[in-house]
Amino acid sequence: MAGLYTKVKLYLEANSKTFEAEANNLELCNESDGNGDYIKIWNVSGLAKPNDEQLASYNTAGNTEEANNVIRRTRRVAYGDIGDQLDEIYKDIDAWKTRIESIKDANPKD
């Protein structure tokens, strides 16, 4: 199941807002009491706090987003430093293309 952060982020985006822009207007918490994550503070202007049903509607998209984030991180590490990539492109663009394609093939996104 997608995490609360991801579902809230998708809810905000679906309503023309971003988590980054609203970060000071909301707070997600977990009291480590077994009750899980919850929205502690919601002061997002012009947008009501989502209820459980609204958040649940983002579960499938949230699962895809989280899986793709893992793939993005894996690819980023495998690609290596941008300076090294540029040097590789300069020296042999075909070898670089082959390497990048193999990384993408090994780590497909949904």
Q: What is the pTM of this model?
A: 0.76
**What's the rounded Cα separation, in Å, for the pair 56 and 5?**
12
- What's the pLDDT score for residue 34? 87
b/e code 19-55 from CB counts within 10 Å (16+ = b): beebeeebeeeeeeeeeeeeeeeeebeebeebeeeeb
Domain boundaries, the chain: 4-106
The residue ranges of the chain whose pLDDT is under 70 are: none
Q: Which of 16, 20, 39 is nearest to 29 (CA)?
A: 39
- What's the pLDDT score for residue 24? 96
- What's the pLDDT score for residue 3? 95
Pairs from 21-26 (Cβ < 8 Å, separation ≥ 24):
none
- What's the pLDDT score for residue 78? 96
